[in-house]
Amino acid sequence: MPTPQENARLEQIKRSWEQKRQITDRLSKIKTKIGVYSGKGGVGKTTVAVNLAVTLAQQGNSVGLLDVDIDCPNVTKVLGIEDKPDYVDGQIHPSEKWGVRVVSMAFFQENEEEAIIWRGPMIHNAISQFLQTTEWGDLDYLVVDLPPGTSDSPLTVMQTLPMDGFVVVSTPQQLANIDARRCINMIRKLNLNVLGIVENYTGEVFGQGGGEKLAAEVDTPFLGTLALRSSYQDTTKPTSLMDDSVGEEYAHLVKTVKNSLQEFGREAS
């Protein structure tokens, strides 16, 4: 007869299997899932995720954006969206703006200035609940804004959400590229795909070339540069919709990301 410990372990296995089945069912209508990831905060990961999603939508794709940076959810600010998702019969129906369907922890905060002080298991449960209960419908692309770093939060996403590949965001500075290399190593240790590196904040202030050099060193595609521009100060809408130069940079990024997806044999529109 099984011991209580063995029964508990069996029940945990059953729950994990059921959870994965529910997540797989929820994501079955999504063709391509792209993670936007960085080794540290402050390199513009969320800005890249939002403008990448908006650019994909502007090109006629059906696009979702999932913000799983539970501690510091900022996607809603960059999008300028305030309408909360509908919650009907235990299902989250995403909000939508600029042609992008959006779910973020920010929608569920009463006070955006309040710190979310959660340990790993609570963050894991929040991420799993988003994945299990969100009704995305048919999507060509789901862009996922991951938490930075190589700790429990991004690990939860990588092990729970079947991603087609990751765009790694870095900047020209040496320290940012050291951290980017760490997160690339994490992706590869989990046998997942690095779609490539994009260098943000390129220009006279921080220099340029660090991201391209890193891409060559770790043998991954270099997806392009995103210049540091004053137009990012206007937060009324995503910058790729306001500044033609930024829009061209993101159109190029979409092209290189699609090329990388095709190289890995992943479906892209």
Q: What is the pLDDT of residue 24?
A: 79
Instruction: Give the mean pLDDT of 44-57.
Output: 97
**Greater pLDDT, 8 or 237:** 237
Q: What is the pLDDT of residue 69?
A: 85
Those residues whose C-beta lies under 8 Å from the C-beta of residue 189, and which sit 6 or more positions away, are: none
Q: How many CA atoms lie within 13 A of 146 on its CB side?
A: 30
Cβ atoms of residues 243 and 172 within 8 Å: no
Q: Is the pLDDT of residue 226 over 80?
A: yes
Which 8-state DSSP code applies to residue 207?
B
| Distance, first Cα to last Cα, the chain | 53
At 100 the three-state DSSP class reads strand
Q: What is the pLDDT of residue 161?
A: 85
**Greater pLDDT, 151 or 68:** 68
Cα separation, 152 vs 120, in Å, equals 6
Please tell me which of 74-78, 112-116, 212-216 the model is most confident about, judged by mean pLDDT.
212-216
Q: What is the pLDDT of residue 162?
A: 85
Query: What are the C-alpha distances in Å from 261 to residues 46, 51, 76, 118, 249?
Result: 21, 18, 27, 34, 18
Helix, strand, coil percentages in the chain from 3-state DSSP, rounded to 5: 45, 20, 35
**pLDDT tens for residues 90-102?**
889 999 999 999 9
**pLDDT tens for residues 213-222?**
999 999 999 9
Amino acid at 223: L
Q: What is the pLDDT of residue 268?
A: 54
Q: How many residues does the structure list for the chain?
A: 269
Q: What is the pLDDT of residue 83?
A: 87
Q: What band does 172 get if pLDDT is binned at 50, 70 and 90?
A: very high
Q: What is the pLDDT of residue 14?
A: 73
Six token digits for residue 48: 């890249």
Nearest to 30 by CA among 124, 131, 159: 131
Q: Is the pLDDT of residue 75 over 60?
A: yes
List the alpha helices (DSSP H) in the chain: 4-26, 45-58, 75-79, 120-133, 152-160, 174-189, 210-218, 244-263
Pairing state between β 194-202 and 100-104: unpaired
Cα separation, 205 vs 196, in Å, equals 24
**Percent share of the chain, pLDDT over 70:** 94
Q: Is the pLDDT of residue 254 over 70?
A: yes
In the block, residue with structure tokens 């391509």: 32
Cα separation, 235 vs 135, in Å, equals 28
Q: What band does 199 get if pLDDT is binned at 50, 70 and 90?
A: very high
Instruction: Give the mean pLDDT of 50-68.
Output: 96
Q: What is the mean pLDDT of the chain?
A: 89
Q: Which fold has domain 23-263?
A: Rossmann fold (3.40.50)
